[in-house]
Structure 1
Amino acid sequence: MSADLTFALRLADAADGITRSRFRAADLTVERKPDRTPVTDADTAVEDAVRALLAEARPGDAVLGEERGGEVGAGRAWVLDPIDGTKNFLRGVPAWATLIALVEDGAPTVGVVSAPALGRRWWAARGEGAWLGQDGAQPRRLTVSGVRDLGDAYLSTTHLGTWTEHHSREHYLALVDACWENRAFGDFWQHCLVAEGAIDLAAEPIVNPWDVAPLQVLVEEAGGRFTDLGGIARFDGGTALSSNGHLHDAALDVLRRD
């Protein structure tokens, strides 16, 4: 395991210590950001703690986080989502996670997704594969599914309401109709399920870089594809499609259909 991946897992340990203690806390503080999305005291506490560890151990690296900002340029940068699925977190739903990625020269090279309330942690690094640790069991190496036809595919998104005019709801519903089954597992979890081979496609019309940076390397190291809805392999394009690779172009064709 590379030094950067080992360190990223250490960062996730620190984050889990905070999120576990604040999940379902009676005194959880919730505020609304300018974009009307919620933020809790746990979100800011996690990002501050991770930034402090980065400043100590990786002082030359840039940092981009959902709550404190920053940027990704040339060289090395850590991309943080302290709690992906904050709406779930504040409602007591256990499907949330801390997302940590190392981006080098614009491409994610390390990714960790830690979901302590689910008892799961996913991680990957370039050339080291994608892995799942669950409830103290021996880590399992991940491989995407072998499904090759949309008619046999399992599809997920986050929220149907986010499919707007630019990436229309009708196009997404056409993809739903083309697939065997669909759900809305949402956020990080659906892309992790693609990496696990449990589902075959996950599509999102609105994402931020911190929402998906670790998921790109996770899905790709599991043998799948991760692109924006234009088909470009990137985490910062504002949209996302992950797949087992076999179905990727067919799904893009449906989403682009006039």
Structure 2
Amino acid sequence: MSLHEEVSALLRTVAAQVVVPRFRALAGHEVTVKSAGEIVTIADREAEFRLHDGLATLGLGARIVGEEATERDPALLDDVGEGLVWLIDPLDGTANFAAGRAPFGMMIALVEDGSPVAGWMFDPLSGRLCHAARGLGATCDGAVVRARPTGAERLRAALGTHFLNPGLRERVHAHADRHLAVVPVPRCAAESYPRLVFGSDDVALFQRILPWDHAAGALFLTEAGGRITHWDGTRYRVGGRGIGVLAAASPGLWEQAADVLLSPAAGLIELDCLVS
């Protein structure tokens, strides 16, 4: 089998054996708080263990960095932008999953020197599999896909600002509401990026950019014809110094969104400068 087929089969197997059986069937002790505002379930941990072992058998010699392993050992993120690295998000949208609602997903990305070279986003409930390989395009369930705009009069923008301080969050949304049609975020990056490609949303903005949350989706979006950058306009890179990301279904839509969301009036550039 090809690498794509092997990783796809691994995702489907782990979803069927670990994730789906626990949906709406979690016991109280199987959901715990791992950090402020973040929870983890037994499905997250068991799925990551199985995915880790499966990727290790592929023989690429890549380091394997998983979300839950990194929670226990943050040093795993050291030099994540160097060399060949597998990134695992065993259950993206854990809060949704634990609450018994969709969307949630599973994501794997292969990254070389900070640049995503292959990515998989799997929806365990529908069986939808989004895949991209650098320079080879994007597919969904084997069919080639190209990103398309919503066609709405005002750009539909999903703003992942829930980690901003309340004052800045209010400022960003007040400014965005004057120019864009702000829509709810799915709280699941494995759903956010497909929405940009399939014409549900035009724009997505994220403040927090943990590597496993965005590498697969960023590649899927760009290979489908969209654009994603850090807030300062530099290209998205795993392990880089840029903060935040702005993603859109096309370069033109990115420019329109940047004029609003990355303008001084929105306040995010001030944050970018302070953090940088």
TM-score bucket of the superposed structures, by smaller chain: 0.7 to 0.9
Deviation of residue 229 (structure 1)? 2.0
Backbone CA RMSD of aligned residues? 2.4
Aligned 8 A contact 2:114 2:237 in 1: no
Deviation of residue 140 (structure 1)? 3.0
Provide the rounded CA distance (Å) in 2 between the counterparts of 1:21 and 1:196. Answer: 28
Paired letter, 1:4 = L
Measured at CA, do residues 235 and 42 of structure 1 come closer, stay the same or move farther in structure 2, by a change above 3 Å? farther
Counterpart pick for 2:247 among 239, 242, 245: 242
Counterpart pick for 1:104 among 88, 109, 112: 112
Deviation of residue 166 (structure 1)? 9.4
Task: Give the 5 Å matches for 1:16-31.
Answer: 16-17=15-16, 18-27=18-27, 29-31=30-32
Aligned 8 A contact 1:100 1:214 in 2: yes
Q: Aligned pair count?
A: 250
Q: Does 1:117 align with 2:125?
A: yes
Percent identical: 28
Deviation of residue 235 (structure 1)? 4.6
Q: Which residue number in structure 1 is paired with residue 261 of structure 2?
A: 255
Measured at CA, do residues 164 and 254 of structure 1 come closer, stay the same or move farther in structure 2, by a change above 3 Å? farther
Deviation of residue 161 (structure 1)? 3.2
Provide the rounded CA distance (Å) in 1 between the counterparts of 2:237 and 2:98. Answer: 26
Give the ranges of 4+ consecutive aligned residues of structure 1 lying more than 6 Å apart after TM superposition: none
Q: Which residue number in structure 1 is paired with residue 270 of structure 2?
A: none
Aligned 8 A contact 2:90 2:107 in 1: yes
Provide the rounded CA distance (Å) in 2 between the counterparts of 1:167 and 1:222. Answer: 32
Which shows bigger deviation, 235-244 or 81-90? 235-244
The Cα offsets for residues 56-114 of structure 1, whole Å up to 9 and x where unpaired, read as 22361111111002232422110111111000000001200011000012100111111
Deviation of residue 232 (structure 1)? 1.9
Provide the rounded CA distance (Å) in 2 between the counterparts of 1:20 and 1:8. Answer: 18
Q: Which residue number in structure 1 is paired with residue 199 of structure 2?
A: 197
Measured at CA, do residues 140 and 175 of structure 1 come closer, stay the same or move farther in structure 2, by a change above 3 Å? farther
The Cα offsets for residues 14-59 of structure 1, whole Å up to 9 and x where unpaired, read as 3312111111114360111134410000001011101111222236
Measured at CA, do residues 74 and 112 of structure 1 come closer, stay the same or move farther in structure 2, by a change above 3 Å? same
The Cα offsets for residues 128-169 of structure 1, whole Å up to 9 and x where unpaired, read as 221222xxxxx4322112579x953111134x5333379643
Q: Does 1:83 align with 2:91?
A: yes
Measured at CA, do residues 153 and 65 of structure 1 come closer, stay the same or move farther in structure 2, by a change above 3 Å? same
Aligned 8 A contact 1:163 1:172 in 2: no
Aligned 8 A contact 1:157 1:190 in 2: no
Paired letter, 2:27 = D
Which shows bigger deviation, 69-78 or 33-42? 69-78
Aligned 8 A contact 2:137 2:144 in 1: yes
Provide the rounded CA distance (Å) in 1 between the counterparts of 2:134 and 2:226. Answer: 13
Which shows bigger deviation, 86-95 or 6-15? 6-15
Task: Give the 5 Å matches for 1:46-85.
Answer: 46-58=47-59, 60-69=61-70, 70-71=76-77, 72-85=80-93
Measured at CA, do residues 166 and 213 of structure 1 come closer, stay the same or move farther in structure 2, by a change above 3 Å? farther
Provide the rounded CA distance (Å) in 2 between the counterparts of 1:179 and 1:153. Answer: 5
Aligned 8 A contact 2:149 2:196 in 1: no
Paired letter, 2:57 = E
Q: TM-score, normalised by structure 2?
A: 0.81
Aligned 8 A contact 2:204 2:246 in 1: yes
Aligned 8 A contact 1:84 1:187 in 2: yes
Aligned 8 A contact 2:93 2:105 in 1: yes
Provide the rounded CA distance (Å) in 2 between the counterparts of 1:177 and 1:7. Answer: 47
Q: Which residue number in structure 1 is paired with residue 8 of structure 2?
A: 9
> Which structure 1 residue ranges, 5 or more long, are not aligned?
134-138
Deviation of residue 206 (structure 1)? 1.8
Which shows bigger deviation, 58-67 or 229-238? 229-238
